[in-house]
Structure 1
Amino acid sequence: MFGLDAMHTMMLILLLLATVAFEFINGFHDTANAVATVIYTNSLKPKTAVIWSGFWNFVGVYVGGIAVAMGIMHLIPNEILADYNTYKSMALIWAIIITAIGWNFFTWYFGIPCSSSHTLIGSIFGVVYTYTLLHPGTSVVLNWQKILDIGLALLITPVLGFALALILMYILFKVVKKKKIFKEPKPNKKPPFWIRTLLILTSTSVSFSHGSNDGQKGVGIMMIILIALAPSFYALDNSKDPKDLVINIQRVEQVLRQIDIAKLKADDQAVVAGAVVKLDSMSRTFNSINSFSQLKSNVAAETRVSLVAIVKNLKGIKDANVALFSQAVNKHDLKRFDHDLKKINDYAEYAPTWVILLISIALGMGTMIGWKRIVVTISEKIGKTHMTYAQGATSGVMAASTIGLSSVLGLPVSTTHILSSGIAGSMVASGGLKNLQTKTLKNIGAAWLVTLPITILVSGLLYWLFISIIG
């Protein structure tokens, strides 16, 4: 299978199954984020709510694009994915998955709303950093910019969620005349139709947004596995014709040859000259094959690394020298140059339909169980008063919009902390800071603070242990 021997094939299958398990646990770990409001307000029965949420999580993963998945992949330097030592790759991936699953399960068991994003990102950072320490001879450079972007997103979005929910609640107090929306749900009694409709819509939006963001993390992990262990089949998009890529490459080369590179900075001149040489070599290679699977594993892996780097570098040079490019190339060709760069990148940064479908099913199925522990925390233990219809709707609208925007930007964020902070903001709007339960908030805050250091430490130690065993 994939040109691997029996042992490597078995490991590949086990890693893929472990990724499915991670996404399944992610589903029931984070279910409460989407169903807490509709279950607690009696808008939907629990069984109906989790099935409905599971379906929309599935849809969110399937149609939500792969920007977040690529964001996860970018945390691991391409040089590591192109490492020919499959034992090191397997050790690295096992360390990530075991740490992520373990911490997710631990926090779920104790009913602590915790971030799967924090867990996964901490696990990845831990193994990559340990990799650089244990293999000092490698030319691996951590993607600090991507780490910083994701770190800021994880830090800012809960604060944004709190503030938006606070503002929305104040607006509702001023605008809405029907005060039923500000009352607590009565046991076994459904809310008025318009309130129920609003709550179901917000729950659906959170479910879809959760799928489009959290689900993509599983897609990213699975692509890391496939590229690292079966590069001939998955380093480049085998569903596409190599000769079509040649057309895109030749048009990019044509534009580069029209540019007076002597007017560029010395470093940029070297980058452009090197890109032309590499692209020309790739064109000859791709013209001689009918499928990327015909490439040797090391060639496929190196080609992927080169394509991603070339596209990134050329786009940066072009954006920094727009006037120079505009003088040499007409507007139409310049626009097509950007289009061709994107097309070239799509050959390297993609996800097969079966991967997206498998992760969609795993997240959707996981969402259908395990909801009760965290629903109670979300609905009753953040504020001293029980959640009202207005607070449920406000936190849902805020969570769906914040997570949706993050997915468009390709930033993995914490659904759990965004919704929890939104409910906290709505509670403050209703009764001030004294309306918050400090014990629960301390538990959530503690989980937020310790998740990164614990997962970094555990995943790093696991990688060191696995490498030591391999010898």
Structure 2
Amino acid sequence: MEHITLLIGIVIVTALVFDFTNGFHDTANAMATTISTGALKPKTAVAMSAVLNLVGAFLSVEVAKTISGGIIDESAGIRPEVIFAGLVGAIVWNMLTWLAGLPSSSSHALFGGLIGATLVSVGAHGVNGDKVVMKVLIPALAAPVVAGLAAMLATKLTYRIGRNSDPKATAKGYRAGQIASAGLVSLAHGTNDAQKTMGVITLALITGGVVAPHADPPMWVIVSAGTAIALGTYLGGWRIIRTMGKGLTDIEAPQGFAAQTGAAATILASSHLGFALSTTQVCSGSVMGSGVGRKGAVVRWSTAGRMVAAWGLTLPAAGLVAAGAALLADQGTWGIAGVAVLALAACTAIWLASRRKPIDHSNVNELPVEPQGAVTAAIAAVSPPPAGPVAPLAATIPAPAAVAASADAAPATA
């Protein structure tokens, strides 16, 4: 390893913190349905997911190349403090959506942070617009739709094949299938998402002159990024697991198997092609598709609407936070220190707020109460109303007292 300055060291540490938040933020992608159907105990599920995320980090570097030499033009004057500001924007948004229990995209938070910081510090020429469209925006629109359709068809086919079988006899087999497919999603998540942090660290090393332009991530970068995302995964993002497993639809074992298999296939294919898509959007789309695919299932579209609104807000919101951080970081050493202090204070405040109503492995399978607070209120306010004669989403959000009174009485299955 060549000489690394203090600033680049700070960027590397911040990138690994983001990778850690990515791990616990996205644990739900692989394990929410497996936990909600009882196929695996919660702690066993997150431990398995952590190990497979670590293994997946070593399988490819194509997505890392998209980050380190794709959406941001490394030759346009990008400095390490720009990358630092972008990471701060991504971390703060990840923490806010985790507090709200919303499975938003860690990937898009990272992209939005990097783009926002680059626009402020370098200008529009520092962003490769065509790469953003082709490698980020188009996959963001297509991936959840493709995964949702695949999961819907797979769910219909699964129930059709097993229509004459004893549900109790087949449930055990489907749960075993869920464990295998959840492992595949975890492997795919490590292959896709751990690489994003590898790409950011490599970009920082390139801008600091530590490695040559267009270089692959060094081995120590791969190891550290894989370890950070695995550790975050093991700690478990229980708040988002509850939303994915219980808040979108009531999931049976055949649905969980179909949803996870479709999601894993989509993520692995995109990783091979170098598309840095959102695993959160893919897995959420699969869960919704499985709900549509099972006859009699109920998809909670109010929750889905808030999720989609959060997806739309992620890029600009993380970008705005990163732009403000970049303005401060550009002032010099004191500015960088100020950004670090403010980011630490914000994350600490969010964590303390989460302790008021803690969610962990012991209560993760309880029916979720509609989340409250400024973040979810803002997301609900911009949620588009559904097409047709259905009431607007805002009207479907019950008051906290009504939710509390009806939560225990809500049926476990549709």
TM-score normalised per structure 1 = 0.67
Distance 1:103 1:126 in 2: 13
2:144–2:282 contact (8 Å) kept in structure 1: yes
Separation (CA, whole Å) in 1 of partners of 2:3 and 2:264: 43
**Does structure 1 conserve the Cα–Cα contact (< 8 Å) formed by 2:159 and 2:294?**
no
1:452 aligned residue: 315
1:148 aligns with one of 133, 136, 148: 133
Aligned counterpart in structure 2 of residue 442 of structure 1, from 289, 305, 308: 305
Deviations 1:77-136 (A, max 9, x none): 0313xx4xxxx7132011111111111111111111110111011111112222344xx9
Do the aligned partners of residues 107 and 116 (structure 1) sit closer, same or farther apart at CA in structure 2, a change above 3 Å counting?
same
Is 2:36 the counterpart of 1:40? yes
Which of 199, 204, 214 is residue 193 of structure 2 equivalent to? Answer: 214
Query: Measured at CA, do residues 420 and 468 of structure 1 come closer, stay the same or move farther in structure 2, by a change above 3 Å?
Result: same
TM-superposed CA distance for 1:11, in Å, is 2.1
One-letter amino acid matched to 1:102: V
Which structure shows the bigger proportion of residues in helix conformation?
Answer: 1
Q: Distance in 1 between matches of 2:222 and 2:291?
A: 37
Where do 1:202-281 residues align within 5 Å? 202-229=181-208, 231=209, 233-235=210-212
The answer to whether the 8 Å contact 1:43/1:191 transfers is no
Counterpart for residue 106 of structure 2: 116
Unaligned runs of 5+ in 2: 336-414
Structure 2 letter corresponding to 1:174: R
The offset of 1:349, in angstroms, is: 2.9
2:80 paired with 1:90: yes
Seen in structure 2, the aligned counterparts of structure 1 residues 78 and 90 have a Cα distance that, compared at 3 Å, is closer
Contact 1:34 1:53 in 2 (8 A): yes
Report the alpha carbon displacement of residue 141 of structure 1 after superposing the two structures with TM.
Answer: 5.2
Match of 2:89 among 76, 99, 111: 99
Instruction: Using the TM superposition, give the Cα deviation of residue 18 of structure 1 relative to its aligned residue in structure 2, in angstroms.
Output: 1.1
Specify whether residues 387 and 363 from structure 1 end up closer, same or farther in structure 2 by C-alpha distance, changes over 3 A only.
same
Post-superposition shift, 1:193?
A: 3.6
The letter of the residue matching 2:121 is Y
| 2:75 counterpart SS class | helix
Preserved CA contact (<8 Å) 1:153 1:413: yes
State the secondary structure of the residue aligned to 2:311.
Answer: helix
What residue ranges of structure 1 are gaps of 5+ in the alignment?
184-189, 236-303, 305-347
Matched, 1:407 2:271: yes
Q: Following the alignment from structure 2 to structure 1, what is the Cα–Cα distance between the partners of residues 255 and 86? A: 36
Q: For 1:360, give the aligned amino acid.
A: G
* Match in the other structure for 2:176: 197
Residue 361 (structure 1) aligns with: 227
Residue by residue, what CA displacement relative to the aligned partner does 1:200-239 show, whole Å, maximum 9, x if unpaired? 111000000000001100100110111112x1x412xxxx
In the TM superposition, what is the alpha-carbon distance from 1:191 to its structure 2 partner? Answer: 7.9
> Which structure is larger by alpha-carbon Rg, 1 or 2?
1
d(CA) in 2 for partners of 1:365, 1:33 = 16
In the TM superposition, what is the alpha-carbon distance from 1:62 to its structure 2 partner? Answer: 1.4
Structure 2 residue 290 is matched with structure 1 residue 426? yes
SS in structure 2 of the partner of residue 62 of structure 1? coil
Structure 2 Cα separation of the partners of residues 50 and 60 of structure 1: 15
Give the letter aligned to residue 402 of structure 1.
T
CA shift for structure 1 position 457: 1.9
Deviations 1:389-441 (A, max 9, x none): 11111110011000001100101111111111111111112247x82212211
2:57 match: secondary structure:
helix
Is 1:380 equivalent to 2:246 in the alignment? yes
Give distance in 2, aligned partners of 1:78 and 1:459.
Answer: 18
Distance 1:92 1:21 in 2: 16
Partner Cα distance (1:23, 1:55) in 2: 15
CA distance in 2, matches of 1:180, 1:98: 52
Q: Which residue of 2 aligns with 1:279?
A: none
Match of 2:25 in 1: 29
Find the aligned partners of 1:38 and 1:52 in 2 and give their Cα distance. 12
Return the alpha-carbon distance in structure 2 between the equivalents of residues 3 and 456 of structure 1. Answer: 30
Shift of 1:372: 1.6
CA distance 1:191–1:24, shift in 2 (3 Å): farther
User: In percent, how many aligned pairs have the same letter?
Assistant: 33
TM-score, normalized by length of structure 2? 0.76
RMSD across aligned positions (CA): 2.1
Q: Deviations over 1:167-200 (max 9, x none)?
A: 111212322245555x8xxxxxx98442222011
Match of 1:128 in 2: 118
State the alpha-carbon separation in 1 of the partners of residues 166 and 306 from structure 2.
32
Residue 173 (str. 1) matches residue 159 (str. 2): yes
Change over 3 Å in CA distance of 1:451–1:361 after alignment to 2: same
Tell me the amino acid that sits aligned with residue 377 of structure 1: T
SS in 1 for 2:294: helix
